[in-house]
Amino acid sequence: MFIATCLICVTSAATGQPKLVFSEGDVVVQRLSDFDREAKVPLVRTTLLIKGVHFASQFQGEGLRGNATDIHYRRLPVTYYHPRGPVGMAMQPLNWFSQPVDRGIADARLPASMIGQCVPISPFPQLAGLWSEPPFAVLGLQAGTMAAYARPLQNVDIYEEQSALVKLSVPTDGEPVFAYVRDAKQRGARIRIFEGPRRTMMHKIGVRSYYRLVIIETYNKSLEDTDTLLLTKQGMNALMDSVAPGGMLCYHVSNRYLNLTAVITDVAKSLGYSCKGGRCTSPVSFGQFTSRWVMVARSAKHLDCLREPEGLRNDPLRVIPPYWAVPQPTGRHCWTDEEVSFKGLRWEDQRK
């Protein structure tokens, strides 16, 4: 029923004692030496902990891996956000090529297409091309990992309430502790960070029918502190208003305390939306976490683009549960702004 959110480092090995590099309130960042055993590359791993829980990481190092292919560890999306996880598979339709995101192959598509359109006939193809990278939003900055997916001229809006997390990616002076956002900006992505309560800030910005994806962290300041305003009937409806036709909401529901899938499914049903749950139970590579997500769209056909990771079932002797499944509503957990109840949602209660 509950997927442990532990780090699965199949090809890495941490060494030495962690060094404290940041501490403010419940937010702590540690840095320690690591090693990619497959590529034989020494690394540095920077880890974000909130109330002692490992939320995100970023690796640094350059080397060769696989077929002597350059891998840019600093851009590699890891932990819950890796390309073979549910949110990575949701991002895949936005990727113009099948190569891994950290190699940056798709980064060249838009600049190349703009050059190809530079013919002295009309400026409109170039103007249209500028909007051909679908924008997405992230509600919950953490280490800024989702910025690893951002490509040149792509618009990405990040909404974050905790000022401590904003400082880690966008400091007022000096180098950032986590470089995902800075690196994305340097390669030409248009990233905006709005600081404040996430639902309130989205309402204030007033974006409508714009984002292809909205990635939503369901906690507030810790796993025990659920951001209920993003999960109520009014909250989900407000978030969906910001989604472009054919887009979806991506709720991250990995939680050691609560079964939030039940809430999202019941609320979506009450609004006439469709759901699909993604469950990554078998990370196979560097720095990947297990995770659970629930994707919500206006129509079931808008969720048909969600696929399993390539090669997931190559081993016929290995039993792997369904990667995507349609969660069934219960009708008992339809939260509203006026009424929120955690009764029957705690994992410990469901195991009794």
Rounded to whole angstroms, the Cα distance separating 60 from 72 reads: 8
- For residue 182, with 0-12 CB atoms within 10 Å meaning exposed, 13-18 middle and 19 or more buried, which class applies? middle
Query: Is 56 among the domain residues?
Result: no
Query: Is 47 among the domain residues?
Result: no
Q: Is the pLDDT confidence value at 168 over 90?
A: yes
Query: pTM of the predicted model, to two decimals?
Result: 0.87
Mean pLDDT of 333-351: 90
- Looking at residue 102, its pLDDT comes to 54
Total tally of structural domains belonging to the chain: 1
Beta-strand pair 27-36/69-72: unpaired
For residue 267, the SS3 value is helix
The backbone torsions φ and ψ at residue 62, rounded to the nearest 5 degrees and listed phi first, read -125, 140
Mean pLDDT of 196-225: 91
Query: Is 48 among the domain residues?
Result: no
Query: Is 146 among the domain residues?
Result: yes
Query: Is 298 among the domain residues?
Result: yes
The backbone torsions φ and ψ at residue 297, rounded to the nearest 5 degrees and listed phi first, read -140, 165
The domain containing residue 210 runs over which residues? 75-306+319-350
Q: How many helices (H) and strands (E) does the chain have?
A: 9, 18
- Looking at residue 99, its pLDDT comes to 52
Query: Is 36 among the domain residues?
Result: no
Query: Is 186 among the domain residues?
Result: yes
Chain segment 45-88, per-residue pLDDT in tens: 999 999 888 999 999 876 555 444 456 788 999 999 999 999 99
Q: Is the pLDDT confidence value at 188 over 70?
A: yes
DSSP characters over 1-16: ------EE-TTB--EE
